Structure 1
Amino acid sequence: MEPGTINHFFRNQTVFITGGTGFLGKLMIEKLLRVNQIQKIFILVRAKRNKSSEERFQDLFDYPCFDNLKKERPDFKEKIVFVSGDCELSNLGMSQQSQEMLIDETDVVIHAAANVKFDQPLRLGANINVRSTKEVLALAKLMPRLKALVYVSTAYSNCPNNRIEECFYKAPISWQNLLSTVDALDDDTLEKITPELLGEWPNCYTFTKSVAEDLIRTEAKNLPAVIVRPAIVTSTIEEPMPGWTDNFYGVAGIVLGAALGVLRSVNAKKDAIAQLVPCDYTVNAILAAAWNVATERKNTKDHFKNSVSATSSQVKIYNYVGTSTNQITWKTYMELIESCAWDYPSTKLLWYYCFTLRENELWHKTCVFFLHTVVAYLADFVLLCIRRKPLAVTNYARMDRLLNLTSYFAKRNWKFPHDNVDQLWGKMCEEDRKVYKFDMSQTNWANYIENCVIGGRLYLLKDPLETIPEGRKWLKTLQIAHYSLLGVLFFLLYLLFKWVFSSIL
């Protein structure tokens, strides 16, 4: 490989990753260990859901995304150091010993920890998305070996703007005021004033990410820092296997809900651009950004030795949103999903596929009432009759609430200039473009979406491809039941209208 390339940069480096147990984090760890001769990776892990931080760390490598790594580098765990902590707490919840170890040994920091849920409480979002960033920066300032710090934001951090440049925007509130507010108020009071605080921002996630970016702007001026803003991160396109994902959040949840026959309507603009970026490409862009800022900082120091310019820098921002020459609309995306749903039906189907994107909000809400709410009450009635716990109404209510938050992004088009991303790609040598590919100008959307559907079936539903024939039989049965039920309903409506009109006449 050519000298000065990305693998050369990461060789013998120590990387500290927050958010290592998340979707992006898992793939980042896998990539660094599989293709690089890095020295060490520090992974911050917190306790969660009756599991200690150490138990969660041990479980991390059971995910299928690490299967290739285990075969190619069976000794990979020797390079991983578990650090117990919590991004919601001061000093990231770490011991003094852990802090000193990180300060002394870290070369690269990748701060990817975040709560990405749209319905998260403001306190949680402020602590994980803002306070943790403050604590990471405080640590980074003490690291004598630091060469690069990457903050992973979101392309929608400044979503009230129709055009989002690769630059900083005015935050809705200063990070100091936000943290002071959540520390001073109880949960009930904070919940009441949250809508007023959010203002034009649609949810606490984008709101707190905007504030966190402002924190980077003010507190990371003399650090080798960059911000990467991915758009909607979806299943892998190539590595470590096509179509891998580990969660039901966002688009993955909508696709599976529709494919399983549970979700039947989403309020969206059909010709709006679906700003989807594969998770593995996003990881590659992040690692390339780390290499670039370190290279630029080194060149600047070499050129301006003993100069103020050697220690000052402007934080560069990368809008990683795919490409403007090979985009896909939500309409086309869902049409491709529907065709794949017929090819790879799951045995876990709950009902026949009858999903539709609806642009008219009133019509969408009407359909939600009849196709979600009424169906949920009927399902719970059946569950009560067979002495089972009713759960459909609660689950549908939560799903519809999340869909309302998601619709904000499916009904609008944004302009995302990405000159910095294009320049980064242009700086990379041919070998790096193969190993750290993130250019989407040649992406075959049909193939990618097919792999996403297969991946959802395999990794989320745990339904192997061998059951496809069984799934097709079940789909056919549900199709007959669906149209039979529709026929009965239309016949009953016909009788009702006939009775009404005969009474009037």
Structure 2
Amino acid sequence: MTSVAAFYEGKNVLVTGGSGFIGKVFIEKLLRCCPEVGNIYILLRSKKGKSIQERLSQIKDLPIFDVLKKSNSAALNKLIPINGDGAELQLGLSDEDRELLVNNVHIIVHTAASVRFDDSLKYAITLNVRGTREIVQLATEVKNLSVFVHISTTYCNTDRSLIEEKIYPAHADWREAIEIAETVDEEILNAMACKYISPLPNTYTFAKSLSEHVVEDMCKGRIPAIIIRPSVVVSTLEDPFPGWNDNFNGPTGLLVAGGKGVLRTVLGHPKSVQDFIPADLVVKLMLVATWQKAQFGDKNEIEVYHGSKNECTPIKIGEVVKMGADLVQDSPFSQILWYPNFSMTSCWYNYYIQVILFHIIPAIFLDSLLRLAGKKPMIVKIQRKIYIANVILEYFLKHSWKFDNKKSFSLINKLQKEDKETFGLSENILSWSNSQIFEFFKKGKIGAAMYILKEDFDHTRKESRKNLHRLWILDRITKVIFYGFVLYLFTTNYHVLKYYYNRLENYITNL
């Protein structure tokens, strides 16, 4: 039995979604820890006027590759861009590129997907279902394929409270879904979407659920395939360094928006248990599961692995919000719109009152000041995005699920001694105390400031604390003025309020 690194030696890998969060972390880990790997083909498309070569250069310049550049910068020369698009038939590949992949690829890792919860049904099916069909079709043509890896999500079966590492019955026929997306008018599709995707909450979870059945139906008995289901993927824990992130998904967006002072209230259930997984642990699982499938796998079985904490470190969303409030004092951002003070409520009318008072009205006021200053107004637009995001996430912030992950952790027993440090997975990694969770979120917040917001976090921390204190004073002064004004209106118009109160009381009495 070969080691994990030895298994990848000389093998060429095709990665879809290589420009995405998981894709970049996977590529970096593979190049750094499996230095003898062959070429890594990355399916890319031209975007925003940039060619695939320019986009690859941008990827290579990201900080996540800094550690690799110091130890083996030549490894980046193994990255080869392939012009293609997962939303196109035949992946938009030229005949020459398709032949190149068919003849040379040994492993396919399919991470490409739209992760937006509010995608139209047509787009979600086109990219996440039909796109999976197209990449699986390519996989069946590859001459020397060792393993096909499909990245799904633990949330593709949210109609169940306990989700095990297996494929559940389909919520619809994926072939019919593709045909509908290709032929039915989009307005009609949008009108029928809620009924069609039920009981799943959005088009993303529905499409990802169907994509698993594409893999099962097309791969079973033909090619070795595995499905990896991560939960909410957040910043790296330690590999290649703590805190790397490139998006605001999951708790990161909550902590950043709250820490910046633009998020004041969240609609959700404080006691709902949330599941998140560091990106580097997901990547370790991907590498080890691929190795295991090639060593011991059966074409007639599609193994499913969960990248989740499950019950190792259960954390309630209300606790995440509280930690975010504590992080405001411990490590404030350098640029803050207003003094951070955010909370969560499960009461919808309380939420909407707070949105109007603390999101909409201040946003209109601040945008008015920006217009007077000759600058582009943006705060209302930001608050609109925050509101839409909260509405979309409300379902997940009010419910809890258990994700069984026994199979994932059992892989550790099959690793050789020399692999355990580099690729090992252990329950101890995720069995954190509250202080460890706090430190993880702190590093994730610092990472978001440095790598997403481009803030010089370390050099402005002292000034950030001073700025936070100034905003605290301003916040208190503003609240005193506001509540004093409300009290003034109440006392000066007491007789009017009493008159209407009596009328209301009489009306209720006479019902």
User: Shorter-chain TM-score: what band?
Assistant: over 0.9
After superposition, the C-alpha distances for 1:271-290 in whole angstroms (9 at most, x for unaligned) are 22220100011111111111
Which position in structure 2 is the counterpart of 1:339? 326
Residue 259 of structure 1: aligned partner: 259
Identify which range, 280-289 or 183-192, moves more after superposition: 183-192
Aligned-residue offset at 1:149: 1.0
Which stretch shifts more, 414-423 or 380-389?
380-389
Q: In structure 1, how many angstroms separate the alpha carbons of the residues matched to 2:492 and 2:300?
A: 78
Cα distance in 2, alignment partners of residues 422 and 241 from structure 1: 23
Q: Structure 2: any 5+ residue segments left out of the alignment?
A: 500-511
Cα RMSD, aligned residues only:
1.6
Q: How does 1:332-371 map to 2 (within 5 A)?
A: 332-371=319-358
Displacement of 1:387 in angstroms is 3.7
1:413 to 2:400 alignment = yes
Assess, with a 3 A threshold, how the Cα gap between structure 1 residues 400 and 32 changes in structure 2: closer, same or farther. same
Distance 2:357 2:311 in 1: 38
1:452-496 deviation digits (Å, cap 9, x = unpaired) = 121112112211210111111111111111111111110011011
> Does 1:471 find its partner at 2:470?
no
TM-fit CA distance, 1:228: 0.5
Partner of 2:110: 111
- After TM superposition, list the pairs within 5 Å mapping 1:103-182 onto structure 2: 103-182=102-181
- Range with greater deviation from structure 2 (320-329 or 178-187): 320-329
1:431: how far off?
2.9
Residue 17 (structure 1) aligns with: 15
Residue identity opposite 2:11 in structure 1:
Q
Q: Is it true that 1:95 corresponds to 2:94 in the alignment?
A: yes
Give TM-score, length-normalised by structure 1.
0.93
1:74 correspondence with 2:73: yes
Structure 2: how far apart are the matches of 1:463 and 1:269?
A: 32
Distance 1:220 1:320 in 2: 22
Shift of 1:10: 1.0
State TM-score, norm by structure 2. Answer: 0.92
Alignment-mate amino acid for residue 444 of structure 2: C
> Aligned partners of 2:275 and 2:296: how far apart in 1?
29
Contact kept in structure 2, 1:54 and 1:84, CA below 8 Å: no
2:138 aligned partner, one-letter code: L
2:336 is paired with a residue whose SS is: coil
Corresponding residue for residue 268 of structure 2:
268
- The equivalent of 2:200 in structure 1 is 201
Equivalent-residue separation in structure 1 for 2:139 and 2:473 (angstroms):
61
| Preserved contact between residue 236 and residue 245 of structure 2 (Cα < 8 Å) | yes
Q: Establish whether residue 457 from structure 1 lines up as the match of residue 456 from structure 2.
A: no
SS, match of residue 73 in structure 1: helix
SS at match of 1:75: helix
Q: Matched residues in 1 for 2:431 and 2:418: separation?
A: 18
Aligned mates of 2:198, 2:353 — CA distance in 1: 28
Residue identity matched to 2:17: G
Amino acid of the structure 2 residue aligned with 1:362 = Y
Find 1:5's aligned residue among 3, 20, 28: 3
The offset of 1:392, in angstroms, is 2.4
- Preserved CA contact (<8 Å) 1:119 1:402: no
Of 106-115 and 118-127, deviating more is: 118-127
Q: Is the 8 A contact 1:337 1:453 kept in 2?
A: no
- Aligned AA for 1:134? R
Q: Which amino acid aligns with 1:488?
A: I
Deviations 1:166-195 (A, max 9, x none): 111222221111111111123323222222
Tell me which residue corresponds to 1:489: 482
Pair 1:397-2:384 in alignment: yes
Preserved CA contact (<8 Å) 2:267 2:397:
yes
Q: Return closer, same or farther for 1:398/1:279 CA change in 2, 3 Å cut-off.
A: same
2:415 maps to amino acid: M
Q: Give deviations 1:293-329, integer Å, cap 9, x for gaps.
A: 11113xx6xxxxxxxxxxx411011121124232222
> Comparing 460-469 with 370-379, which one deviates more in the overlay?
370-379
Cα distance between partner residues in 1 of 2:440 and 2:418: 23
Determine which of 390, 396, 409 is the counterpart of 1:422: 409
1:431-442 pair list within 5 angstroms: 431-439=418-426, 440-442=429-431
Identity %: 30
Cα distance in 2 for residues equivalent to 1:397 and 1:407: 15
Equivalent residue, structure 2, for 1:225: 225
Q: How many residues align?
A: 490
* Corresponding residue of 1:35: 33
Contact 1:383–1:390, Cα closer than 8 Å, also in 2 = yes
Contact 1:258 1:353 in 2 (8 A): yes
1:266 match: secondary structure: strand
Structure 1 357/430 Cα, relative in aligned 2: closer, same or farther at 3 Å?
farther
Q: Deviations over 1:348-406 (max 9, x none)?
A: 11111111121223322221222112222222232333343333223312220111111
Pair 1:332–1:433, CA change in 2 (3 A) = farther
Bigger shift: residues 427-436 or 491-500: 427-436
1:65 to 2:64 alignment: yes
Cα deviation for residue 412 of structure 1 reads 0.9
- Compared CA separation, residues 12 and 342, structure 1 to 2 (3 A): same
2:184 alignment counterpart: 185
Supply the distance in 1 between the matched residues of 2:154 and 2:310 (Cα, whole angstroms).
Answer: 13
Q: Write the deviation string for residues 174-228 of structure 1: whole angstroms up to 9, x where unpaired.
A: 1111111111123323222222222222211111101101111211102210101
Q: Identify the residue that residue 499 of structure 1 maps to in structure 2.
A: 492
Q: In 2, Cα distance between the equivalents of 1:336 and 1:433?
A: 32
Tell me the secondary structure at the aligned position of residue 114 of structure 2.
Answer: coil
Identify which range, 339-348 or 41-50, moves more after superposition: 339-348
How far apart in 2 are the matches of 1:458 and 1:80?
A: 26
SS at match of 2:337: coil
In the alignment, residue 254 of structure 1 is paired with which amino acid?
Answer: L
Equivalent-residue separation in structure 2 for 1:74 and 1:86 (angstroms): 28
Question: What CA distance in whole angstroms lies between the structure 1 residues aligned with 2:196 and 2:256?
Answer: 33
Q: Which moved more, 1:135-144 or 1:147-156?
A: 135-144
Q: Distance in 2 between matches of 1:106 and 1:244?
A: 29
What is aligned with 2:439?
447
